[in-house]
Amino acid sequence: MIPAKAYAVQNATTPLAPFTFERRKPGAHDVLIEILYCGVCHSDIHQVCNEWGGSKYPMVPGHEIVGRITEVGSGVTKFKVGDLAGIGCLVDSCRTCSNCEQGYEQYCETGSVGTYNSYELDKKTLTYGGYSDKIVADESFVLHVSDKLALERVAPLLCAGITTYSPLRQWKVGKGHRVAVLGLGGLGHMAVKFAAAMGAEVTVLSTSPSKEADAKKLGAHKFVVTKDEAAVASVKNYFDFIIDTVSAQHDLNLYLAMLRLDGTMILLGVPPETPQLQVFNLIGKRRRVAGSLIGGIKETQEMLDYCAENNIMSDVEVIPMSEINNAYERILKGDVHYRFVIDLKTL
């Protein structure tokens, strides 16, 4: 076994604190990664606080991981020592169900293995995430990371990036489409960047007029303050797609009315209460409400390559590990533009 250092929580009410544990030694198809940076996702907070239920403790969060490979197993063919590498939300799946065979490991029919707060396929070994100095994973779930981009700004692409890239690709968003992004946070700012890069007309929907300058800087063409009735009326029956990144409670019906015929609202955020839908709002314009998770390994690699080719990165604030609990408080206040990233050299 390999000694590892991390920050972890012991239960739903304790703060993150130093924690030591052991990683397995790399097997034939494993790589050992020295973690350099790890993004802080809002879902880390949800799981640390057991807001989704089923949290397992002690918990080492973190699934936006970039680092450098320091050891490879005897059967590894995709990586070599010294390569830059990334790990996102998954570290394994059954690999044999129809979804896995199609490259949709995130929808594994028997349940994929999360990078943290999950059990390995043996159903008893707890997975620990990227708030740590190293990680061991099967090469099939490890991503190549380009040296063209700033590594600290790449880390959030492994979750926030692929979560927004995947639905845009799934619905073939591109030139001629009108896309609205609801919420300008960690997910929303990446949705704006991707949709604009793909050639769509992008509008940010927000309750905060103060975010307009940032939205335009990120690539948005238009900005609508959703508390302004006239502004809302101006985009009725207007959009082909709405990318909804908001995890707070909000009225979906207000936004559904902005979709044109056959428009689709894609839910990425998870509000605490089940939203209520007015059925006539759907059937009157043949509108659709859909959901999307992350992407599979193949699509995540495609996204990373796309970002390297188009110079797309997350906007981040790098923090030392000692600031993680304060960062959680700031995230809950919306005080981050747009993703915290931990520098693991400070662990």
Burial 104-143 (b: 16+ CB within 10 A, else e): bbbbbeeebbbbbbbeeeeeeeebbbbbbbbbbbbbebbb
Q: Structure tokens of 289? A: 């409400």
**What DSSP state is assigned to residue 274?**
P
Burial label, 47 (beta-carbon count in 10 A; 0-12, 13-18, 19+): buried
Q: How many residues does the chain have?
A: 347
The list of the chain residues with pLDDT below 50 reads none
Q: Structure tokens of 6? A: 């991390």
Say what the pLDDT of residue 267 is.
97
- Strand-pairing partners, residue 339, are 316
Helices (H), the chain: 42-48, 98-101, 151-154, 160-170, 186-197, 212-218, 229-233, 252-256, 279-283, 297-310, 324-332
Distance of CA 317 to the CA centre of its chain: 16
CB 39 within 8 A of CB 340: yes
Say what the pLDDT of residue 165 is.
98
Say what the pLDDT of residue 88 is.
98
- Tabulate helix, strand, coil % of the chain (nearest 5): 30, 30, 40
Say what the pLDDT of residue 180 is.
98
The SS3 assignment for 166 reads helix
CB 335 within 8 A of CB 323: no
Task: Assess whether the previous peptide bond of 338 is cis (omega < 30° from 0).
Answer: yes
CA-based end-to-end distance of the chain: 20
* Per CATH, domain 161-291 is 3.90.1150.10: no
As a whole number of angstroms, the distance between CA 292 and CA 245 comes to: 11
Q: Where are the domains of the chain?
A: 2-158+315-346, 161-291
Alpha carbon dihedral 266, 268, 270, 271, in 10-degree steps, equals: -50
Alpha carbon dihedral 13, 16, 19, 23, in 10-degree steps, equals: 100
Residues 6+ apart with CB under 8 A from 266: 167, 171, 241, 242, 243, 244, 290, 291, 292
Sign, Cα dihedral of 19, 87, 63, 111: negative
Cα-flanking dihedrals φ and ψ of residue 39, to 5°? -75, 155
How many C-beta atoms surround the C-beta of residue 227 within 10 A?
Answer: 11
* Per CATH, domain 2-158+315-346 is 3.10.310.30: no
